[in-house]
Amino acid sequence: MARSVAGWLLLLVTSFGHAATFTVTSTADTAGASCAAVCTLRQALTAANNAAGADTVAFNIPGVGPHRITLGSALGTINLVTIDGYTQPGAQANTHAHASNAVLKIIVDGRTLTQTILTVTGGSVRGLSIIGPPGNFGLNVTDGGTVAGNWFGVEPDGTTTVAHSRSLTVNSSSTHTVGGAANADRNVFVAASTALRFESAATGINTVRNNIFGLLPDGVTPAAVDFAIVSIGNLSTQSVIANTISCTGGIALQSFGRVFEQNRFGTTTDGIGNPGCTTERLSTFSNQSFSFNTFANFASSPLPVASTLTGIVLRSNRIVGGTAVPFDLNNNGFTFNDETDADTGANNLQNYPTISESRRIDDDQVLMAGQLRSTPGTSFALEFFCLARDHASCIERVCAGQRRTHFDRDDHSDDGCRRCGEFRTGACRIRRQW
């Protein structure tokens, strides 16, 4: 009896097989089901799909590179396969805090195709320069696939861009992350009609984190996308965190996102510089939350809020430059306060606080006095902001401006304020009289 149980256990374990690594050694596009000493990307993907386990496709193509793999047809679908371009000798993942200094050695060039280059089902793609087709998607991701550390629409030199239709689409109800928390996870999206699209089937938890849209990998030079992110999926489970989104010809984010945190819209990747391009607005919906973002250099309101929308949370955001009303309730320009805040519309046309006095007491204290006239018997949260630099004139001006308008209106007219850097709450003490 013991012998039969042991035999059954052995059969159970061995039936799952072991993950294998298939190494690409050629830039040719030859098909085949085996990956021998000379192995193309197409052969490696086929062999990995046919093998049991979650396999890896690695690279060891002779020569300094970068190495261009020009595709004659689509690569099809891979299941539970990891493609890792950083295994190519000389390749290196990004280490830069906000731009991308990644060294990419593998180019997957699908510019002559009419189909999607590759569908990734439950696997991952890292460390590639992906040149997409002019009329279809570069990558299609389903069933929990991950895409991180790639450049879309720009070659490994970091400057040569190739216009294409759509870089990446997500198309299943699983959990997906585009990018990631680590510097090495940062994707770069440029020169696309639509950089990232979530289809109607993308109803799972989807996070877009720590990517660059519309700027070259240097984080400074414009390389526009028409639409950065478009969704026809489920807004309630979508998050946009710590991305740089600039230089958009169309709506920057269209129908995407429930939570927006720590993003930089309209700036260089350091969140300070002006890339000298136009960044268009975000589309808004009820119950969205915008916190600790920077909105800069918009020609029109970055967040127009239609009269039917409510529950939009705007907290601790920074506004730099621009001439339009940043958060435009009712999408009709500036709205004055009314006596008891009885008017209705977008976010109930909430009254704003007014400042009667703002005076510096010493190097780290500002006295502020004012009032908020709104709905009687209602509690409100009032936020105060200061610069994280002990620059007296800058602190006084921005503390006053932040309190008065609930966001910073630094127009960079003062060189000291230009260099003040990041904003944070509690950077100076404020005596309040309300």
74-78, 162-166, 243-247, 364-368: least confidently modelled range:
364-368
283-308 pLDDT, tens digit each = 998 999 999 999 998 878 899 888 89
Instruction: Supply the pLDDT for residue 334.
Output: 81
Instruction: Supply the pLDDT for residue 413.
Output: 36
Instruction: Supply the pLDDT for residue 271.
Output: 94
Please list the residues that pair with 209 across neighbouring strands.
179, 241
Residue 370 lies in a domain: yes
With bands split at pLDDT 50, 70 and 90, how would you rate the model's confidence at 184?
A: very high
Number of domains, the chain: 2
398, pLDDT greater than 70 = no
The backbone region for 155, taken as left when phi is positive above 0, alpha when psi lies in -120 to 50, beta otherwise, is beta
9, pLDDT greater than 80 = no
Q: How far apart are CA 108 and CA 41, in angstroms?
A: 9
Is residue 391 domain-shared with residue 276, that is, in the same domain? Answer: no
Say what percent of the chain tops pLDDT 90. 56
Asked if 10 and 4 count as a contact pair (C-beta separation under 8 A), the reply is: no
Residue 33 lies in a domain: yes
Asked if 182 and 146 count as a contact pair (C-beta separation under 8 A), the reply is: no
Q: How far apart are CA 299 and CA 281, in angstroms?
A: 9
407, pLDDT greater than 90 = no
429, pLDDT greater than 70 = no
Mean pLDDT of 344-365: 83
386, pLDDT greater than 80 = no
Instruction: Supply the pLDDT for residue 32.
Output: 96
Residue 69 lies in a domain: yes
Is residue 164 domain-shared with residue 273, that is, in the same domain? Answer: yes
Backbone angles phi, psi at 125, to 5 degrees: -130, 125
Higher pLDDT, 262 or 338: 262
351, pLDDT greater than 50 = yes
Instruction: Supply the pLDDT for residue 107.
Output: 98
Is residue 267 domain-shared with residue 171, that is, in the same domain? Answer: yes
Q: How far apart are CA 123 and CA 151, in angstroms?
A: 18
Higher pLDDT, 402 or 174: 174
Mean pLDDT of 139-155: 95
Q: Which of 245, 265, 283 lies at the terminal end of a domain, its last residue?
A: 283
Is residue 278 domain-shared with residue 363, that is, in the same domain? Answer: no
With bands split at pLDDT 50, 70 and 90, how would you rate the model's confidence at 426?
A: very low
Please choose, from the candidates 19, 175, 171, the residue with its C-alpha nearest in 3D space to the C-alpha of residue 84. 19
The mean of the pLDDT values for the chain is: 84
15-19, 26-30, 212-216, 358-362: least confidently modelled range:
15-19
With bands split at pLDDT 50, 70 and 90, how would you rate the model's confidence at 396?
A: very low
Residue 11 lies in a domain: no
Is residue 238 domain-shared with residue 364, that is, in the same domain? Answer: no
Kindly report the pTM of this predicted structure: 0.84
28-42, 67-81, 235-249, 362-376: least confidently modelled range:
362-376
Instruction: Supply the pLDDT for residue 14.
Output: 35
Q: Which of 264, 283, 302 lies at the terminal end of a domain, its last residue?
A: 283
Instruction: Supply the pLDDT for residue 46.
Output: 97
Is residue 45 domain-shared with residue 149, that is, in the same domain? Answer: yes
61-81 pLDDT, tens digit each = 999 999 999 999 999 999 999
Residue 313 lies in a domain: no
Is residue 192 domain-shared with residue 54, that is, in the same domain? Answer: yes
Higher pLDDT, 120 or 12: 120
Instruction: Supply the pLDDT for residue 275.
Output: 96
Which of 218-232, 367-381, 405-419 shows the highest mean pLDDT? 218-232
With bands split at pLDDT 50, 70 and 90, how would you rate the model's confidence at 399?
A: very low
Range of the domain at 143: 19-283
Instruction: Supply the pLDDT for residue 384.
Output: 67
Residue 428 lies in a domain: yes
Is residue 77 domain-shared with residue 156, that is, in the same domain? Answer: yes
Higher pLDDT, 282 or 362: 282
Instruction: Supply the pLDDT for residue 419.
Output: 34
93-97, 151-155, 207-211, 369-373: least confidently modelled range:
369-373
Is residue 252 domain-shared with residue 377, that is, in the same domain? Answer: no
Is residue 278 domain-shared with residue 359, that is, in the same domain? Answer: no
Mean pLDDT of 338-363: 85
317, pLDDT greater than 50 = yes
Mean pLDDT of 395-424: 35
Is residue 135 domain-shared with residue 257, that is, in the same domain? Answer: yes
Higher pLDDT, 328 or 207: 207
Structure tokens at 188: 């770069």
Q: Which of 223, 257, 283 lies at the terminal end of a domain, its last residue?
A: 283
With bands split at pLDDT 50, 70 and 90, how would you rate the model's confidence at 414?
A: very low
Residue 213 lies in a domain: yes
Residue 63 lies in a domain: yes
Instruction: Supply the pLDDT for residue 424.
Output: 36
Instruction: Supply the pLDDT for residue 418.
Output: 35
Is residue 82 domain-shared with residue 194, that is, in the same domain? Answer: yes
